[in-house]
Structure 1
Amino acid sequence: MREETVMRGVYLPGDSTAVLRELPVPEPGPGQVLVEVGASGICGSDIGYIYHEHKGHRGVEGAAYQGVVSGHEPSGRIVAAGNGCTRFGVDDRVIVYHIAGCGLCDNCRGGYFISCTSPRRQSYGWQRDGGHARYLLAEESTCVPLPDRLSYVDGALIACGFGTAYEGLRRIGVNGDGDLLVVGLGPVGLAAAMIGKGMGARKVIGVEVSPRRREWAGSLGVFDATVAPAGDAEATAGLVADALGARGAATTIDCSGSRAGRSTAIAGAAEWGRVSLVGEGGTLETEVSDALLHKQLTLYASWVTSLTAMTTLATNLARWGLRPEGVVSDRFPLAEADAAYRLAAGASAGKVVLLPSESLS
């Protein structure tokens, strides 16, 4: 029996701090569920657009963050359900897709709530309360089943970073016929490598500037080799080719969001290769004839994933025996949210997550 009426949530004032404030435990209305949060990740987009300063995002006028409880990567257990809920109920373990769309536009009807075109679109942790609190009020329509074989930390990672990586890899058709190059070994890059292995990539090679991140990535057991950038993109592509024993990778994905990283993903692709761009921000600058046309490359860009693909991903990860929580380097209780955000914004080796509910950790 849930007895709490008040809980603490994490807010981001935009001055490089995370503060805890009290707020009421919400009650679910029609079509809503109350989720006890087992784990909630800290995302790079929160650092870039909210933590240091409140910025606009996705064409939004003014700050995108509306002063709500932060955190858009939640996973947990449903403890109450409102009227009209039919698919999920009390005690169901769920991942919460981090956008609540209108449900009516073409993007929503295809499962891509991330690209909802309605002004009613709200992101958890940006325009409505998110997962950095013990309880989260969620729309039933945004819930994804969390397989029993996966932990709440696994679910939190699937909610954003792993979903983003999976969509990028689906677009380029990673399979056992070729190798995979991953550029940028932050949390999304680590996710791409793990999923790429599950999808059957023959070899997975990583490129990363940070020695600490290369060391952490190498310890996960999913990379066949990790290399540091060497001079320009062509020189780095030469190192990748040496590691592969081939002239390039059939599939490449840039998770760095940098101009240099994108150039490396293009240069490291083999003839007829397929290149995926998922890293936010920055620019793309490339020579066209030799880099693209003469190599017959195809470039794909994707933004997060769909609700249905996220459901498939969770099922596949359990079937493949892969645990996303392996990319987590640091876990913090909710009371230490400020320290967690400082680490995530600084020199964390891997993913940083909060564990809001002691009863589920």
Structure 2
Amino acid sequence: MSATTSPSLPATMRGVYLPGDSTASVRSVAVPEPGPGQVLLRIGAAGICGSDIGYIYREHKTHRGVEGPAYRGVIASHEPSGTVVAAGPGVRAFGVGDRVVVYHIAGCGRCDACRRGYFINCTSPERAAYGWQRDGAAADYLVADESTLIALPDELSFVDGALIACGFGTAYEGIRRINVSGDDDLLVVGLGPVGLAAGMIGRGRGARRVIGVELSEERRAWADGLGVFDATVAPGEAGPVVAELTGGRGTSTAIDCSGSRPGRSTAIEHIAEWGRLSLVGEGGTLETEVSDPLLHKQVTIYASWVTSLPAMSELARSLVRWGMRPESVVSDRFALSDADTAFRLAAGAGRGKVVLVPDLDG
């Protein structure tokens, strides 16, 4: 390789592809070579995100209003973490042996959004998301732009890193926007992986009470086992519990991770006067009477879409300081060879997060 390289790299590797028919196939492909400003990672863990299921796994859908399907037939997964095993020309900040998380979109690097670290909002034709328009993490190796890397602290595992790469980053941005602190109670609606992350981050930032609302009894039981939530309830039971824990006021902060109209309505119903509401769940609609639940209560609504690269790096350091491990929300780990089973579980009614760990194959 025309790069700084660790010894004994194989010629081929495995990669997971999503044909769009609710299956995942493992193929043998050549190990890629990093170009200028790029590194080659040996993948330590790759997460399976709900957006992969909704837009790629079942069928290849349009996303972000772009013409044609969002998925370009590349290796799946936009939640990578791993170890640098080769560095291309011009790489400066990272080298062979470094443990990293990959911000899951590579932007043009020149627009205002990119210069602020929000590659997610880059509108250039050069914008490419790992696992959507360029090869992703569901493989043994991944070529990544150095500009998308953040350091993975030694105290965190590769599974921790994969979760930071998307779900925890998304939750962190939502929690940052409403500035959860020790003065606040936090209501989390939707206890999928992002909701679990929001609860953990809210607790890490000092929230007095964290209350979870989730339709699935199995997911509520899984959330209870994390030791983060003061209570987890079904939507129809939220009123009395929130009233009891907040002295009848409602919660000063709330975050909807459900992406559903009923979930958002639940968050609005139980937010306190002068409350701050964060919307991070994709899809669905927002339908509400305005005067009583919003205007008269002086509610502020924030909407966010993933986080910035600097904030993602901040999150990794904060998790260490809080003594929190994202991997605690993982309910199932699979080898790459079992990718079809892993995606099938992630697309069903799983308890927590599903991840792929290449080393499980031995």
Q: Which amino acid aligns with 1:264?
A: T
Q: Quote the Cα distance in structure 2 between the aligned partners of 1:209 and 1:140.
A: 41
Which of 14, 18, 22 is 2:24 aligned to? 18
Q: Is the CA contact (8 Å cut-off) linking 2:18 and 2:56 kept in structure 1?
A: yes
Which of 38, 41, 44 is 2:44 aligned to? 38
* TM-score computed with the length of structure 1 as normaliser: 0.97
Q: Which amino acid aligns with 1:355?
A: V
Mapped pair 1:58 → 2:60: no
Matches within 5 A, 1:1-361: 1-230=7-236, 236-358=238-360
Q: Which amino acid aligns with 1:128?
A: R
CA RMSD of aligned residues (A): 1.1
Task: For residue 215 of structure 1, report the CA deviation from its aligned partner.
Answer: 0.3
Q: Which amino acid aligns with 2:198?
A: A
Q: Quote the Cα distance in structure 1 between the aligned partners of 2:118 and 2:127.
A: 12
Q: Which amino acid aligns with 1:300?
A: Y
Q: Quote the Cα distance in structure 2 between the aligned partners of 1:263 and 1:174.
A: 20
Q: Quote the Cα distance in structure 1 between the aligned partners of 2:255 and 2:36.
A: 41
Q: Is the CA contact (8 Å cut-off) linking 1:237 and 1:264 kept in structure 2?
A: no
Task: For residue 240 of structure 1, report the CA deviation from its aligned partner.
Answer: 1.9
Structure 1: segments with no counterpart, 5+ residues: none
Name the SS of the counterpart of 2:235 in structure 1: coil
Task: For residue 358 of structure 1, report the CA deviation from its aligned partner.
Answer: 4.8
Q: Is the CA contact (8 Å cut-off) linking 1:80 and 1:89 kept in structure 2?
A: yes
Name the SS of the counterpart of 1:240 in structure 2: helix
Q: Quote the Cα distance in structure 1 between the aligned partners of 2:204 and 2:93.
A: 29
- Residues paired across the two proteins, number: 356
Listed one character per residue, the Cα deviations across residues 247-299 of structure 1 (whole Å, up to 9, x for unaligned) are: 21110000000000001111111100000000000000011000100000000
Q: Is the CA contact (8 Å cut-off) linking 2:334 and 2:360 kept in structure 1?
A: no
Task: For residue 101 of structure 1, report the CA deviation from its aligned partner.
Answer: 0.3
Task: For residue 356 of structure 1, report the CA deviation from its aligned partner.
Answer: 1.8
Task: For residue 3 of structure 1, report the CA deviation from its aligned partner.
Answer: 3.0
Task: For residue 246 of structure 1, report the CA deviation from its aligned partner.
Answer: 3.6
Task: For residue 229 of structure 1, report the CA deviation from its aligned partner.
Answer: 1.1
Task: For residue 60 of structure 1, report the CA deviation from its aligned partner.
Answer: 1.1
Task: For residue 62 of structure 1, report the CA deviation from its aligned partner.
Answer: 1.1
Runs of 4+ in 1 over 6 A off after TM superposition: none
Q: Quote the Cα distance in structure 1 between the aligned partners of 2:311 and 2:155.
A: 18
Percent identical: 71
Structure 2: segments with no counterpart, 5+ residues: 1-6
Q: Quote the Cα distance in structure 1 between the aligned partners of 2:139 and 2:96.
A: 19
Q: Is the CA contact (8 Å cut-off) linking 1:227 and 1:240 kept in structure 2?
A: no
Q: Quote the Cα distance in structure 2 between the aligned partners of 1:45 and 1:311.
A: 22
Q: Quote the Cα distance in structure 2 between the aligned partners of 1:76 and 1:171.
A: 29
Q: Quote the Cα distance in structure 1 between the aligned partners of 2:235 and 2:129.
A: 35
Q: Quote the Cα distance in structure 1 between the aligned partners of 2:44 and 2:326.
A: 15
Q: Which amino acid aligns with 2:329?
A: V
Q: Which amino acid aligns with 1:17?
A: T
Q: Is the CA contact (8 Å cut-off) linking 1:99 and 1:124 kept in structure 2?
A: yes
